[in-house]
Amino acid sequence: MPLHPQARDYLARYASDEDTDFDSIDLDEIRETRAQDDAVAIHRGPLTKLPFVRDELAEDVPIRIYRADPGDGLLPVVVYFHGGGWVYGSVKRTDALGRDLAIRTGAVVVSVGYRLAPEHPFPGAADDAWSVVRDIFARPAFYQSTGSVAVVGESAGGNLAAAAAWQARDAGLRLAHQVLVYPVLDAAMDTPSYREFAKGFGLEAAEMAWFVRQYADGVDPADPRLSPLRLPDVSGLAPATVVTAGCDVLRDEGERYAHRLAEAGVPVEARRFDGAVHGFFGLPGLFDQAVEARDHVAERLRESL
C-alpha cells in the first residue's frame, strides 16, 4: 500500500526509531524522554478555551474533565485513554485532543492519566482504566452524567478501552459505545501487517515489541486484559467503531477484532485510512485524514450517546 503524501512528508521530517537499540534504553532515559518537550505539540491542534476544564481523581487515578457546554445540565460522558505504548503519553500531551473531543461530541470528556510502565507494569494501566470507568458509573452526579458512557482509546489506549469494555459487560455496566483507534489488541505481534510495515513507517515492529516487554514482560499473551483479541467471547460487547491506519503494524489486529465483533452480532463499523501511519489521529496539523477521522469518530459517538 503506498503512503499518503502527508504521511511520506511526516516520516521524512520526523526521525524514525528503526536504528534504535531498544534493549539499551534504561529507566532514566525513559523518564528523560517523558520530560522532553513534545516535538509535534504545535501539530496536535489548538488548546481551545472551554468553560470547564478541571483536574480530579477517580478512585485515585488522575483525570482531566472537559466540558464545552457552559450550562450545568446532564451530558453523556466520553472516557479517553491516550496512547504511548503504556510507557509514554499523558493527559497534558493530549490536552488539545481532549478539548476537541468535548467540542465535537458535546459530551463531558474524561481524559485518564493512567500509571505508566515500566514503573507500573501490567495490569497497572488496565486496572486504572477500569477504575475510572467504574467510578463514572458509580458517581454520575459528580460527572454530571446522563448515565450514557462511551470509551475511546488510541493505540495502547485502545487496548485499555477494549479491555474496559469487556470488563464493563461482565460487570453488568452497559457502555453506549467503544471507539478503538489503531488499537493494540494482540501481544503475539504476528500478523501480516507486522511484517509488511516492520520498518520505515513510524511505529517499528521492534519498538512495539519493546513496549510490550516494558508493560507485560512474562505475562501470558492470551490474557484478554493484555490481548483483547484473545477474549473467548465477544458477544454482548458495546457497539464499536474501529479506526485503522493503512500503513501500520497494528492494522490487521484492529481489523480482525472488528471482524470478530461483527461475527458475534456486535454492531461495528471498521474504517481504514489508506496510506496513513500510526499516530495520525492525534496530529490534525499534519494530516488531513486526522480531521476526517475525528469527524467520523465524533459522528459515531453522537449517534450512540
Backbone dihedral angles phi then psi of residue 22, each to the nearest 5 degrees: -65, -30
Cis peptide preceding 118, ω within 30 of 0: yes
Question: Which positions ≥6 away from 62 have C-beta within 8 Å?
Answer: 55, 56, 91, 112, 113
Q: How many residues does the chain have?
A: 305
- The three-point CA angle 136-159-125 to 5° equals 60
Helices and strands per DSSP (H, E), number in the chain: 10, 8
Give dist(CA 183, CA 83) in Å, integer: 9
Instruction: Tell me which of 145, 148, 155, 193 is the catalytic residue.
Output: 155
Instruction: Tell me which of 95, 135, 278, 304 is the catalytic residue.
Output: 278
Question: Is 304 assigned a catalytic role?
Answer: no
Instruction: Tell me which of 95, 100, 186, 248 is the catalytic residue.
Output: 248
The one-letter amino acid at 242: V
Question: Which positions ≥6 away from 33 have C-beta within 8 Å?
Answer: 88
Question: Is 4 assigned a catalytic role?
Answer: no
Question: Is 248 assigned a catalytic role?
Answer: yes
Got the DSSP string for 221-244? TT-TTT-GGG-S--TTPPPEEEEE
Catalytic residue set: 155, 248, 278
